[in-house]
Structure 1
Amino acid sequence: MGNRQALLHIFPGSIREVLGRLNLNYEKLQEIRLRSERPIAVLWDGKEYFVKKSGEATVYSEDGYCPGSQEMVQIMEYVSGYSMYAFEEELRQGFLTIQGGHRVGIAGKVLLENGKVKNIRHIAFIHIRLCHQIPGCADALMPYLTEKENVYHTLIISPPGAGKTTLLRDVIRQISNGIQGCAGKNVAVVDERSELAGSYYGVPQNDLGIRSDILDGCPKAEGMMMMIRSMAPEVIAVDEIGTEEDRSAIETASCCGCKVLATVHGSSVEDIQRNPCIQRLCEEKTFERYVVLNREYGKGHIQAIYDGTFRRLL
């Protein structure tokens, strides 16, 4: 079953027919948003459209197809394989990953237990972020990240939606498989939000290379320490760092001889130098390469590359 068909399979018949007729190139489809009694919206190539019952994309919300509450229930039944209980832990976090590596975010009535989220019921809002692999998207970047069998500590700086996870995924794949001048490395991937590997029942849906080991759904800081103890990695990769615990774990990993590949939200090196959690890593020159992405020119566009002293290389 193709990736597009596998995605359509999670929807009940009526919505499946509507989205199955969608007259947009699937490869550029980024998000699908469904809200009970409100028009289906999609993000395609950075632009929002609503979807008519005929499958035609439109900018007019009043023409969009509106799923009912029962259809929202059916979607969650399909997504969970009619066993919502089996996904209770994932649902507590507000999302789960489905076959193909797509991420399904949810919102609705929160049930609390001892002041903590126990579950989410009456789900009326579903946000699907589609996973698209782009093998080779990091080709132009790799010469700056490796040299004479060495991998540089690298931080990818990117605003939301600029393609940092897609780029990091391909960097991991190439370092794991090996490239000219740099043999393949054992890479430990701590995939807290299941977005890098897109694991489904423990099986990665995305290609992260032949030497990558994935710890799925584990907090980054704790996961990095677990992987160092258990998997003896040469490289550790994490997405979206930003806490003191993350900073401390990165410092420990670098002291243990592991190279670190990470991403962080930001629009420039000045942004991260002002970030309290990242500032110390900058001052200690932990990272040897900084890659800045700019979504203005499309996902994955590299605006600049700097070395550990913030000397511009590109």
Structure 2
Amino acid sequence: MIKTAAFLIGLMLGPTPASAALPVPAAPAAPAAPPLVRHISYVRDGDVYVSAGPAEKRLTTGAGYARPRWSPDGKQLAVLRDGQLWTMKADGTARRRLTTRPAAAPSWSPDGKWLAFASLSCTGGPGVYRISATTGPPEVLFPVDCRSEPLPETTSISAVSSAPASTASVAAASASLVDRLRADDAVAWSPDGKQIAFRGGECDAIYDACLSIGTISSGAERTVAAYGGGSLQNRGFAVLPAWRPDGARLAFTAYQEGETTAQNEPLHVVEYDPRTGAKRTIGTTLDREPAYLDPTHALVTARYRNGSWITLLDLTTGTRTPLHPGSQPTLQP
């Protein structure tokens, strides 16, 4: 059942007494709630927006923007602009380019001093770098063997911009998304600052596509998800990792083409337990780009009204609340 965006108010501000429970319409025409305490940022038609309820503010114009990420103090946004890494204040001012090499979607370190991003590594595949949020050149984090090597010459790297047009059919949109998300190199810094999740890694030597968690201090990597190669007779990808605020779960967007039609898995979101390796699917088909609010709620990009909408997902009940047209959500800390 779809609730109104007022549910999100209760999530942020505290529970609503039973005697004051809000009515639950079947399909809201648009969010209708007072401003929220916390803001979300997202992309629509290649520009960045922020919202704290039904009202929204457009921060950029001219398109070419993708994958905004809030800083830990909530005062800045990191964003891709035409494939380069930029930062700006939460109101869209004071924009500053950090990289001169192509970058994929970034992730802030928990202390806000660094930004991690993916770009070409010395091996010729995607690598993970970090760069100071204020000044300085990038440093290699993964692969660990590239830490002592000169930075490779820059080249293009995949970056996803806006959501598919709202007039596209669900089937066509799904095909387009698969093509664009397959090589998305977004990274995610763990809440304890010790690890980074990223597409590829040492597992690329075995599998056709994979997702890894790397330990920054040692450079060690472990495989979270893998497709094709080795003994695997499937094809697919796992991209866009996102850590739960307590670090106990990692969510990512996945897709699989199995040996048989019955083994096919369209775009969906997987939640992974780093301690046990257990996985479960959350949300529904075509959900993607997870961003946790807390252990029981997340934002995802979902199909709604024949388009892409930022949607609140209750991970316990499956309740879904469409918030705004757009994609690539990130939540202000």
TM-score by length of 1: 0.22
Higher-helix-fraction structure: 1
Larger radius of gyration: 1
Higher-strand-fraction structure: 2
